[in-house]
C-alpha cells in the first residue's frame, strides 16, 4: 500500500475541529434538504464557450469533447441519486427532545458514510449519546431514503432494555423488536415475530447471535450495528467469525474506549468494515511498521489518513461543556488485624517466600495466582474458606472491623450512591453488610438475569426511589448502563485495565448528570494494590499522550514476570514487620483530605513521566529529585540494582520448644528415615530381560542360585509393613532360603547352555523400535517392520517376530504393549475403510470435481459451501488420504486455487480445521455408501424368484441344524 492509494483528507473546513469534522465528499448545503440541480443557462453558456475554443484552435475532429463527456456523466449521476441531505438542526422524526450540536454533526457524518457506501466507527467517549446518534441514522434511512430495514443492532446483554427504551423514546416510528430468552421463548419469537417481518430493527445480544446464527443468516440486513465493538477485535473469536458471515449492506461499529495500541486489533476492525480493502493483516502491519517510517510524524500522518474517513471520536471535555466535572480521590487504607495477624496476607507471602527472595522458579501462572490471592486478602479476609468465624455464622460488626476497606466503607456510605467491584464474591459480603445496616440496595453482576437487571436500573433511577446503594461488578455492569441519578461512585477494588474502571465511572458521569461526580477508589496501603493502581494510571497516561494523538505504536501490554514479582514484593517487608492493625479512628473528612492530597501527588508525578518510562511501565524520570525511587530521603533506584540479592526476612517463629529427640535430630541433620535395603543378589549373575525370550528353565536355575547365595551370607527376610499377612509371607520366603541347595554341575552346564538360546543381541532400543513398527504398519506387514528396526536383518526380525507372538504373554507390560499395537492396527483399518469409501464415492461420477454431491441430511454445516466440500473431498482422494501431512498440503492447495481467490473463509482455515471438516464429510459419505448398499441388497432380494429364495432359506435352516447336531 502506498501513500497514493489512501483517500484524500485535504480540504479542512475553517472553524471546525478536525476530530469532529464529518467525512463528506460534497460541500454542505445551507438548507436541511436541498436537491442537487444544474442551472440550464449556465450549461448553454459553457457549451458555447467550449465550441468557440475548439474552433479557435482549428480542432474540428468528430468526437465527444471532454466537456460533453463530463455532462453525460453528471446526467447519469443525477438520474441515480439527486438528493443530498445535511441536517443543521435536530430532525423532525426525533421526538421527546432534540439532538445536541455535536450529535447532529455525528449524524451528518454517518449519513455521508452511507451516501458514499462506506462503513465506519463511531468512537465518541462514553456518555456522549452514541445510542441516540445511531437511532437517528436508522430513522433517517426510513424517513428520507424509504429504507425501513431490516437492521440488526448487537449490544451487551445488560443494555438490551436500554436500547429498546431509547428506540421508543427518540424515534417511535421505528418498529424495534428484541430477541432474548430461553430456547422455547426464542423459537416462539422467531416463528411469530421475526419471520413475518413486521418490524424494522432487531436488537439482540452477542450470545443470542451465536446461538441463533442460522436464523440471522436468512436475512439480508441493511445496517449491522455492533455496540461495544471491542468484542470483535480478535478476528478469530466465535462472535467475530459469525458476524462476518451475515449478509449486510452497511456496517457501523460503536465503541466508547479509545483504540488500543495494537495494530492487529485495529486491522481486525477495519477488516470487518472493509474486507476488500484491508484483506491482509501482514501488509497492514508492514505498512505501519515504525522501522520503515521516517520518524513518528510520518506514522501519524499515515494513521490519520487511514482513520479519518472511517472513524469519528469526540471527548466530553471538548463537546459537552455543560456536563459537571468528575473528581477522583484515592483513599489509602491499612490492613486490619485479622488481615495481618490471622495470617492471610502474611501466609500467602510465606507460602511463596522462595519466589519473594528470587530463589524459586518464577512460573508466570504461579505469580498470577499469588497476585490474585493477595488482592482477595486486600478486599476482605472472608473471601478465603474458613476465615469467617462460625458456625453459627452471624452478620454483625466483625464483618466491618476485619477489613480495612469495609471500615472505610462504613464511614463513607452516608455519602455513597453507587459502588463498583471487580470480584463478584465481594458483592456477597457487601450485600450482607447492607442487610445488617438496613440500607436498601440494588445488585448487578454477571449472573443477574436480563429482566432483573433492567428492573434494578429502573428502580434505582426512579425519581421517588428509596434505593440508597447500587452494587455492581465493573465488568458486568460497566457497559452501557445509565445511572445518571448517582453522583458518588466508589471503586472497592480496581481492575487491571483502567478502561474498565473508566466505563464504570461513566455510568454516572454522562449526559443527564446534574451534579459533580465524585469517585472514591479504596486502596490498601503497602500492598500489591498500590502497584496495580500505579500501573493502571501509567496506562491511562500513555493513552493520553500517544493513542489520543493517533500513534498506535506497539507496546508491551501484558504483565511480565519481573513486573509481577515486584508487585508481590512491594510492601512485603512492611507486612512481616508489623502485627497490629493499621486502621485508625479518624473521621471520614480526615481520611478524604489525606486521600485527596496523595491523589494530587500521584497525578503530579504522572505528569512528569516521559513517554519512554511509560512504555516500559517504569516510574523513573531519570533524576534523583523527581524520581519515584526517591522515597523518605533514600534513593531506592540503587537498591533495585541489587534486586536479586535483597532478602525479605519472614516473620519470627513463635512456637514452643519441641522436645521430641528423633524429630529434633531429623530436622537438624536434615536426614530422613532409611528405606528398607534390597535383598542381596549374586555379584556375577547375568543381566537378562524378559523381551529377550530366554527359555523359562533359565529363570528357575537363576532363582535357585539367588536363594543359595542368600543362605550362604546368612540373609534374613525382613517383615514388610505394608501387607496384611506379613508374618506368613516372611516365614515362607525365609524357608525357601534355608532349604536352598547349590546348583549341581549338570545344572550349571545347563544354565550356561540356556544363556545362549535367547535373543542376546536385542536391547531395549531394538525392542521399542519393533513395537512401534507393529503399531505403525500392523503385525502382518513384516517387511515394513523389518525396515523400521535399525541394525537388524529382515531374517532376524522375522525370527524375533515369530517368537514374540508365541511368547508375548511372558512380558511384564504385555497389556500396555498389546493396547498400543491394537490402537495402531485400528487406525490402519480405519484408513483402509476411508480410502475404500472415497474410492466408491468418486467412482460414481465421471467428473467428480463438478458433479459430486454430498448427502448432508440434517448435518449440513453453516460455514462451508457445497462447492468447498466437493473440492476438499476430491483433492483429498487425489492426494491420498493416508499420505503424511496431507492436510497441510490440502491447505496450500486451497490457497493456490483460483477457484477460491476471493473466498476469505476457506482460505483462512487451518490444517486442523480442514481435517475436522474432512472427517465430517467422510462420515457422511460412509453413511451414504451404507444406505446405498442396503438399498441395493433389498432390491436384489426383491428381484430374486420366490421359489429360489424359499429353497435358499430351507437350505440355510438345514445347515444350521446339522451344525448344532455336530456341536452336541
How would residue 204 be classed by pLDDT, with cut points 50, 70 and 90?
very high
The DSSP secondary-structure symbol of 15 reads T
Q: What is d(CA 902, CA 523) in angstroms, rounded to the nearest whole number?
A: 54
- Same-domain pairing of 385 and 246: no
| Residue 647: pLDDT over 50 | no
Cell of 339: 488481615
- Amino acid 476: pLDDT: 58
Residues 45-68 pLDDT 10s: 445 554 454 444 444 444 556 666
Q: What is d(CA 208, CA 186) in angstroms, rounded to the nearest whole number?
A: 9
Q: What is d(CA 804, CA 781) in angstroms, rounded to the nearest whole number?
A: 15
Cell of 798: 522375522
- Same-domain pairing of 371 and 494: yes
Tell me whether strands 247-254 and 419-421 are parallel, antiparallel or unpaired: unpaired
Q: What is d(CA 606, CA 540) in angstroms, rounded to the nearest whole number?
A: 10
63 in any annotated domain? no
Residues 902-928 pLDDT 10s: 888 888 888 888 888 888 888 888 888
Q: What percentage of the chain carries pLDDT values higher than 90?
A: 5
Those residues whose C-beta lies under 8 Å from the C-beta of residue 166, and which sit 6 or more positions away, are 131, 132, 135
CB 437 within 8 A of CB 396: no
75 in any annotated domain? no
CB 151 within 8 A of CB 138: yes
547 versus 867: which is more confidently predicted? 867
- Amino acid 510: pLDDT: 64
Least confident of 208-217, 314-323, 763-772: 314-323
266 in any annotated domain? yes
Q: Find the CATH number of the domain harbouring 446.
A: 3.40.50.300
Q: For the chain, report the end-to-end CA distance as a whole number of angstroms.
A: 87
- Same-domain pairing of 468 and 591: yes
* Longest alpha-carbon distance in the chain: 137
386 in any annotated domain? yes
21 versus 444: which is more confidently predicted? 444
950 in any annotated domain? no
Residue whose cell numbers read 506368613: 728
Residues 299-349 pLDDT 10s: 656 666 777 778 888 877 777 666 666 777 777 777 777 776 554 555 555
| Residue 233: pLDDT over 70 | yes
Tell me whether strands 630-631 and 634-635 are parallel, antiparallel or unpaired: antiparallel
What is the Cα 459 distance to its own chain's centre?
A: 35
Neighbours of 772 (CB within 10 A): 16
| The last residue of a domain, from among 817, 840, 864 | 817
955 in any annotated domain? no
* Helix-strand-coil split of the chain, %, nearest 5: 55, 10, 40
- Same-domain pairing of 460 and 504: yes
Q: What is d(CA 925, CA 919) in angstroms, rounded to the nearest whole number?
A: 10
- Same-domain pairing of 695 and 732: yes
573 versus 500: which is more confidently predicted? 500
- Is the peptide bond between 170 and the residue preceding it cis, with omega within 30 degrees of 0? no
The range of the structural domain enclosing residue 415 comes to: 327-615
| The last residue of a domain, from among 600, 615, 630 | 615
**DSSP-H helix ranges across 352-415:** 353-356, 364-379, 398-401, 404-412
Q: How many CA atoms lie within 13 A of 15 on its CB side?
A: 0
- Same-domain pairing of 441 and 468: yes
Number of H helices, E strands in the chain: 43, 17
Q: How far is CA 342 from CA 296, 338, 351, 370, in A?
A: 54, 5, 14, 18
How would residue 677 be classed by pLDDT, with cut points 50, 70 and 90?
low
CB 197 within 8 A of CB 134: no
Tell me whether strands 419-421 and 469-473 are parallel, antiparallel or unpaired: parallel
- Same-domain pairing of 422 and 487: yes
| Residue 357: pLDDT over 70 | no
- Amino acid 224: pLDDT: 92
- Amino acid 480: pLDDT: 52
Phi-psi region of 117 (alpha: psi -120 to 50; beta: other; left: phi over 0): left
- Same-domain pairing of 439 and 495: yes
- Amino acid 49: pLDDT: 52
431 versus 205: which is more confidently predicted? 205
Residues 448-506 pLDDT 10s: 776 677 777 777 777 777 777 777 776 555 555 666 666 677 777 777 666 667 666 76
- Same-domain pairing of 849 and 707: no
Neighbours of 587 (CB within 10 A): 10
Q: Find the CATH number of the domain harbouring 249.
A: 3.40.50.10810
pTM above 0.85, yes or no: no
432 in any annotated domain? yes
Q: Find the CATH number of the domain harbouring 798.
A: 1.10.10.60
Q: What is the 3-state secondary structure (H, E, C) of 342-353?
A: CCHHHHHHHHCH
Bridge partners, 226 (sequence order): 154, 253
- Same-domain pairing of 849 and 809: no
- Same-domain pairing of 420 and 462: yes
Number of domains in the chain: 4
- Same-domain pairing of 780 and 845: no
Those residues whose C-beta lies under 8 Å from the C-beta of residue 855, and which sit 6 or more positions away, are 924, 927, 928
501 in any annotated domain? yes
List, in sequence order, every beta strand (DSSP E) within 480-542: 488-491, 517-524
Residues 499-517 pLDDT 10s: 667 666 766 666 566 667 7
Amino acid at each position: 500500500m502506498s501513500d497514493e492509494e489512501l483517500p484524500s483528507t485535504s480540504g479542512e473546513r475553517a472553524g471546525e475541529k478536525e476530530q469532529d469534522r464529518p467525512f463528506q465528499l460534497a460541500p454542505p448545503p445551507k438548507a436541511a434538504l436541498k436537491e442537487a440541480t444544474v442551472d440550464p443557462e449556465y450549461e448553454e453558456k459553457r457549451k458555447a464557450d467550449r465550441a468557440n475554443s475548439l474552433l479557435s484552435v482549428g480542432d474540428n475532429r468528430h468526437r465527444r469533447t471532454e466537456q460533453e463527456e463530463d455532462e453525460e456523466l453528471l446526467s447519469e449521476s443525477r438520474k441515480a441519486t439527486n438528493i443530498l441531505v445535511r441536517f443543521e438542526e435536530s430532525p423532525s422524526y426525533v421526538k421527546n427532545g432534540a439532538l445536541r450540536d455535536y450529535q447532529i454533526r455525528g449524524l451528518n457524518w454517518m449519513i455521508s458514510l452511507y451516501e458514499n457506501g462506506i462503513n465506519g466507527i463511531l468512537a465518541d467517549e462514553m456518555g456522549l449519546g452514541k445510542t441516540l446518534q445511531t437511532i437517528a441514522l436508522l430513522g433517517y434511512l426510513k424517513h428520507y431514503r424509504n429504507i425501513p430495514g431490516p437492521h440488526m443492532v448487537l449490544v451487551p446483554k445488560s443494555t438490551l432494555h436500554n436500547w429498546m427504551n431509547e428506540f421508543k423514546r427518540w424515534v417511535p416510528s421505528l418498529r424495534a423488536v428484541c430477541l432474548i430468552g430461553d430456547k422455547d421463548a426464542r423459537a416462539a419469537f422467531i416463528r411469530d415475530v421475526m419471520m413475518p417481518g413486521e418490524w424494522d430493527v432487531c436488537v439482540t445480544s452477542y450470545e443470542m447471535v451465536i446461538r441463533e446464527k442460522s436464523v440471522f443468516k436468512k436475512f439480508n440486513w441493511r445496517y449491522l450495528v455492533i455496540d461495544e465493538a471491542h468484542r470483535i477485535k480478535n478476528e478469530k473469536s466465535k462472535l467475530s467469525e459469525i458476524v462476518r458471515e451475515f449478509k449486510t449492506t452497511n456496517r457501523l461499529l460503536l465503541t466508547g474506549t479509545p483504540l488500543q495500541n495494537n495494530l492487529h486489533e485495529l486491522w481486525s476492525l477495519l477488516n470487518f468494515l472493509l474486507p476488500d480493502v484491508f484483506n491482509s493483516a501482514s501488509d497492514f502491519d508492514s505498512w505501519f511498521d515504525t522501522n520503515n517510517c521516517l520518524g513518528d510524524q510520518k506514522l501519524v500522518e499515515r494513521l490519520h489518513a487511514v482513520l479519518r474517513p472511517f472513524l469519528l471520536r469526540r471527548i466530553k471535555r471538548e463537546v459537552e461543556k455543560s456536563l459537571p466535572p468528575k473528581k477522583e480521590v484515592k483513599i489509602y487504607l491499612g490492613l486490619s488485624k485479622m488481615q495481618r495477624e490471622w495470617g492471610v496476607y502474611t501466609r500467602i507471602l510465606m507460602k511463596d517466600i522462595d519466589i519473594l527472595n528470587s530463589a524459586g522458579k518464577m512460573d508466570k501462572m504461579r505469580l498470577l495466582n499469588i497476585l490474585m490471592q493477595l488482592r482477595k486478602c486486600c478486599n476482605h479476609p472472608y473471601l478465603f474458606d474458613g476465615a469467617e468465624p462460625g458456625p453459627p455464622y452471624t452478620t454483625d460488626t466483625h464483618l466491618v472491623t476485619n477489613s480495612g476497606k469495609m471500615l472505610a466503607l462504613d464511614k463513607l456510605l452516608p455519602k455513597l450512591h453507587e459502588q463498583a467491584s471487580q470480584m463478584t464474591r465481594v458483592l456477597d459480603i457487601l450485600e450482607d453488610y447492607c442487610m445488617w445496616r438496613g440500607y436498601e440496595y440494588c445488585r448487578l453482576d454477571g449472573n443477574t438475569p436480563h429482566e432483573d437487571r433492567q428492573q434494578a436500573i429502573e428502580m434505582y433511577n426512579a425519581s421517588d426511589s428509596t434505593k440508597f446503594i447500587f452494587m455492581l461488578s465493573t465488568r458486568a455492569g460497566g457497559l452501557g448502563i445509565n445511572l445518571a441519578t448517582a453522583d458518588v461512585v466508589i471503586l472497592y477494588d480496581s481492575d487491571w485495565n483502567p478502561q474498565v474502571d473508566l466505563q464504570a465511572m461513566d455510568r454516572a458521569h454522562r449526559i443527564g448528570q446534574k451534579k459533580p461526580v465524585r469517585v472514591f477508589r479504596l486502596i490498601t496501603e503497602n500492598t500489591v494494590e498500590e502497584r496495580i493502581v500505579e500501573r493502571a494510571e501509567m496506562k491511562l497516561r500513555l493513552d493520553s499522550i500517544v493513542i489520543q494523538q493517533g500513534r498506535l505504536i506497539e507496546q508491551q501490554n501484558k504483565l511480565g514476570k519481573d513486573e509481577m514479582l515486584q508487585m508481590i514484593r512491594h510492601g512485603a517487608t512492611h507486612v512481616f514487620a508489623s502485627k497490629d492493625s493499621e486502621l485508625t479512628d479518624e473521621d471520614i473528612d480526615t481520611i478524604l483530605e489525606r486521600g485527596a492530597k496523595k491523589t494530587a501527588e500521584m497525578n503530579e508525578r504522572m505528569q512528569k513521566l516521559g513517554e519512554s518510562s511509560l512504555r516500559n511501565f517504569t516510574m523513573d524520570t531519570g533524576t534523583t529529585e523527581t524520581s519515584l525511587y526517591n522515597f523518605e530521603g533514600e534513593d531506592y533506584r540503587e537498591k533495585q540494582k541489587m534486586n536479586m540479592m535483597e532478602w525479605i526476612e519472614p516473620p519470627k517463629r513463635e512456637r514452643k520448644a519441641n522436645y521430641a529427640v528423633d524429630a529434633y535430630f531429623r530436622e537438624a541433620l536434615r536426614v530422613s528415615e532409611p528405606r528398607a535395603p534390597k535383598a542381596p543378589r549374586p555379584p556375577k549373575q547375568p543381566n537378562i530381560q524378559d523381551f529377550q525370550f530366554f527359555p523359562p528353565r533359565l529363570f528357575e536355575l537363576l532363582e535357585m542360585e539367588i536363594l543359595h547365595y542368600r543362605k550362604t551370607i546368612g540373609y534374613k527376610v525382613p517383615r514388610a509393613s505394608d501387607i496384611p499377612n506379613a508374618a506368613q509371607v516372611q516365614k515362607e520366603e525365609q524357608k525357601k532360603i534355608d532349604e536352598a541347595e547349590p546348583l549341581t554341575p549338570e545344572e550349571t552346564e545347563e544354565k550356561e547352555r540356556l544363556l545362549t538360546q535367547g535373543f542376546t543381541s536385542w536391547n531395549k532400543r531394538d525392542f521399542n523400535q519393533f513395537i512401534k513398527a507393529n503399531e505403525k504398519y500392523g503385525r502382518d506387514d513384516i517387511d515394513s517392520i523389518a525396515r523400521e528396526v535399525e541394525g537388524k536383518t529382515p531374517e532376524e526380525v522375522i525370527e524375533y517376530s515369530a517368537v514374540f507372538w508365541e511368547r508375548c504373554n511372558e512380558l511384564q507390560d504385555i497389556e500396555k504393549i498389546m493396547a498400543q499395537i491394537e490402537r495402531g492396527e485400528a487406525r490402519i483399518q480405519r484408513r483402509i475403510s476411508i480410502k475404500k469409501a472415497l474410492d466408491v464415492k468418486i467412482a460414481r461420477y465421471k467428473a467428480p470435481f463438478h458433479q459430486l454431491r454430498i448427502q448432508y441430511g440434517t448435518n449440513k454445516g453453516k460455514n462451508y459451501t457445497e462447492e468447498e466440500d466437493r473440492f476438499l473431498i476430491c483433492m483429498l482422494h487425489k492426494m491420498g488420504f493416508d499420505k503424511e501431512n496431507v492436510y497441510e498440503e490440502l491447505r496450500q492447495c486451497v490457497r493456490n486455487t483460483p477457484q477460491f481467490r476471493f473466498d476469505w473463509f476457506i482460505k483462512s482455515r487451518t490444517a486442523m480445521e480442514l481435517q475436522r471438516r474432512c472427517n465430517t464429510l467422510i462420515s457422511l459419505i460412509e453413511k451414504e455408501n451404507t444406505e446405498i448398499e442396503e438399498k441395493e441388497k433389498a432390491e436384489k432380494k426383491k428381484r430374486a424368484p420366490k421359489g429360489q429364495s424359499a429353497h435358499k432359506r430351507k437350505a440355510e435352516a438345514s445347515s444350521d441344524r446339522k451344525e448344532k447336531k455336530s456341536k452336541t
